[in-house]
A and B are shown apart, each in its own frame.
Chain A
Amino acid sequence: MPRIFSLLLLSALSAFTVQCFGQDKLPVGIVTSLTGPMAPPGKFQMNGFNLAAEEINGAGGIALGGRKYSIELKVYDTRANPAEGASALQRLATVDKVAVVLGELHSGVAAAEAPVAQDYSLPLILTVPTGPNLTEQGNRFLFRVNASNDQLNLALADFIGKQGWTPLSFIAWNNDAGRGGVNGMKKLLGEAKSGYVGYFNVGDVDFSSHISNIRASNARAVMLFMDEEPGSLAIKQIRDAGLKAQLIGTLAMGSDRFLKRLDAARLEGMVQYNAFPPNANTPRIRAFSERYKKKFGEEAHGFAAQSYDGLMMAAAAMQKAGTASDGKKLRDALASMEHEGVIGRIKFDDKGQAHPPVYVTQWCANGSRRILYPENLKADCGAG
């Protein structure tokens, strides 16, 4: 019997060996969730990386020391588990010997990956985790392209306060993203303006108990801290229950794909913070949206845009530093450069945190979006 095991195992594994020919390869490490309940957002993250890698390689690759290298993504599934994250970083650093690592979805896992990156002087560029204390550990090799929870909440709290949409109630994922969002928002708005908080586990589909309580509390607005799948259910159930409060969502609720899950009537008037508005009038953004749609057949997700920018910036840093193996030089290049990304201008501060603009967009009656904030980037329906 054991012999059959090993035969099965061997044949399964040999099916996965890949023969690589051609141009010199430059390995770049990616950590994300490929399986498990966070796989859907992980897929958007991967789309961004894949699109960036394709564009870089299509343009000839990265030129270092007189030779051209094409980027090869080494992707590891960390499944929301800190130990797997640390193992993945260890492997990327010492076995795959990558130039840089990007990605991750969870703050808890990123917190386990960052020290390993530091141990091996390997730059780690986060493109999705929002936990504020990640950049407070004094790790010079950790960078974050996306806005942290604190930054997102600041933009939104400002906007919400001005609109008078308080008391604000919440329905949130009971994980780092949801809890971080709620805690941050409540701190900014203060107890007087904060209402009911309804937490739910990733994978839950029924929000009836929360909706009943929100209605009973006469909240003016409901903020949804979750991704598009539960978001579509929550909004459907909220509107079906006849609750007419103002809806506020995350960047996951600003795409066409989200619209398809529901319909324009239910979404009209809903507001969300966004990392980038796909139809904005900036050429850079339009070009990216078109390329994304062409490759993946759907509108770009904010995570994809953030990840795309992360890899592009890493490639630019490698060119600037003239190396892909000297982690310290690469790190210094990243720390000192400015990059015009799809999500805006990316420049890391002394804690490794970038400060991209945080947009607030709103759904219009005809299914298009408008930009409400920042004031100087306001745009009408169709340009959001």
Chain B
Amino acid sequence: MAQALLEQVINGLMTGSIYVLVALGMVLIYGVMHVLNFAHGVLFMVGGYLCHFFFTRLTGSYPLALVLSMAALALIGVAIERSVFRPLQGNLRNQVIASLGLILVIENLVIALWGPNALQLRTAATERLVAIGELRFPMQHVMIIALTAIVVAAMFGFLKWSKFGTALRATSQDRSAAMVVGIPVERVDMASFALGTALAALGGALVGPLFLVFPQMGDAPMVKGLAGILLGGMGSVPGAVIGGLIIGVAESVSTLFLPTDYRDSIAFAIMVAILLVRPRGLFGLRVRGEA
């Protein structure tokens, strides 16, 4: 029993890592701009498609294709921020509508251009097995967990120690105060969006070779990532990480005891339960001015 539990925890850490990859970009954008971008999932997907495109058409090097797709998505992110989200700042409702409209446009554009079938992104590194005690896991499990950990650590480092990261944190804590001390908040907005969407692209490009690249690949991770962000506390980066992992582990472990067709519901039920006890999420802070 203990072995089965351990195995599911590790499985859950892997699926949770994917949710974390999506959540990181979303929480960054939310923290700085207070914009909830539902279209983040499709941007994750576009990252996967662009990586596949660059890998098969331009360069045979997977790392290069990955970097290119991140750069491309950063540009797309800036374009979306300036044209759609900046004019709608402060208006939660319309941001939600606009991002839903973006989902329709982007997802169906991808289907119109690439067709509905899934694409395979085959790289040599992903086909081995790793042994942990008596359990054997495919290399990809370990890779996702490791890569996500690296990305999270890099994010923490960037936010804590770099000048721009500090500017980002300042803007998210108190926008007016940041303006007063001379932080160019509009540029911070743009940069946070670019960084957030680049992270989405990174997620899609990392996950693509390990599974498949297809138009709906970002939909479920987005919703789960969102649940993770809420659970962890909106605007909190450690919250997003812990939250995403909790959701992943809860889902996997639940298959040991509960009917598997309710696997998603378990994740949401846990989210609601935790929120009822801690209404701002695990790491959420009270923001001045909010009720």
**CA gap between A366 and B87 in the complex, in Å:** 60
Contact of A240 among B111, B120, B138, B215 (CB under 8 A): B138
**Other contacts beyond A209-B251, A240-B138: 14, CB < 8 A:** A35-B111, A179-B261, A197-B261, A199-B260, A200-B260, A201-B220, A203-B216, A208-B252, A209-B255, A232-B212, A237-B138, A240-B127, A240-B129, A241-B137
Residue A213 CB within 8 A of the other chain:
yes
Residue A367 CB within 8 A of the other chain:
no
Q: Is the CB of B252 within 8 A of A242?
A: no
Chain A stretch 16-34: residues in CB contact (< 8 A) with chain B: 34
**CA gap between A261 and B122 in the complex, in Å:** 10
Enumerate 29 A-B pairs (CB-CB under 8 Å) in ascending A order.
A39-B116, A39-B117, A40-B117, A40-B118, A197-B260, A197-B261, A198-B260, A199-B263, A200-B260, A200-B263, A201-B264, A202-B216, A203-B217, A205-B211, A206-B14, A208-B14, A208-B15, A208-B252, A209-B11, A209-B12, A209-B252, A212-B7, A212-B8, A212-B11, A216-B3, A229-B117, A229-B118, A240-B127, A240-B129
| A-side contacts of B214, CB under 8 Å | 203, 229
Interchain nearest-CB distance for B180 vs A (Å): 37
Q: Is the CB of A208 within 8 A of B129?
A: no
> What 1/0 flags go to A253-294 for Cβ under 8 Å of B?
000000001000000000000000000000000000000000
Q: Is the CB of B260 within 8 A of A210?
A: yes
> What 1/0 flags go to B205-247 for Cβ under 8 Å of A?
0000001101111011000000000000000000000000000
**CA gap between A34 and B7 in the complex, in Å:** 39
Residue B52 CB within 8 A of the other chain:
no
Contact of A233 among B141, B212, B263 (CB under 8 A): B212
Contact of A210 among B118, B138, B255 (CB under 8 A): B255
**CA gap between A216 and B134 in the complex, in Å:** 13
Contact of A213 among B138, B211, B220, B256 (CB under 8 A): B256
**CA gap between A229 and B138 in the complex, in Å:** 19
B120: nearest residue on chain A (CB-CB)? A261
Q: How large is the interface on B (under 10, 10 to 19, 20 to 34, 35 or more residues)?
A: 35 or more
**CA gap between A203 and B217 in the complex, in Å:** 6
* Total contacting residues, chain A, CB less than 8 A: 34
Contact of A39 among B111, B137, B211, B217 (CB under 8 A): B111
**CA gap between A42 and B252 in the complex, in Å:** 31
Residue A204 CB within 8 A of the other chain:
yes
Q: Is the CB of A213 within 8 A of B111?
A: no
Q: Is the CB of B136 within 8 A of A241?
A: yes
Interchain nearest-CB distance for A173 vs B (Å): 10
**CA gap between A34 and B259 in the complex, in Å:** 32
Residue A50 CB within 8 A of the other chain:
no
**CA gap between A199 and B265 in the complex, in Å:** 13
| B-side contacts of A202, CB under 8 Å | 216
Interchain nearest-CB distance for B65 vs A (Å): 20
Interchain nearest-CB distance for B226 vs A (Å): 16
Residue A194 CB within 8 A of the other chain:
no
B129: nearest residue on chain A (CB-CB)? A240
Interchain nearest-CB distance for B117 vs A (Å): 5
Residue B94 CB within 8 A of the other chain:
no
A260: nearest residue on chain B (CB-CB)? B120
- With contacts A40-B116, A208-B15 known, is A198 near B129, CB below 8 A? no
| A-side contacts of B108, CB under 8 Å | 35
**CA gap between A124 and B258 in the complex, in Å:** 40
Residue A323 CB within 8 A of the other chain:
no
A213: nearest residue on chain B (CB-CB)? B255
**CA gap between A85 and B34 in the complex, in Å:** 39
> What 1/0 flags go to A165-208 for Cβ under 8 Å of B?
00000000010000100000000000000000111111111101
Residue A43 CB within 8 A of the other chain:
yes
**CA gap between A36 and B12 in the complex, in Å:** 27
Residue B124 CB within 8 A of the other chain:
no
**CA gap between A201 and B261 in the complex, in Å:** 8
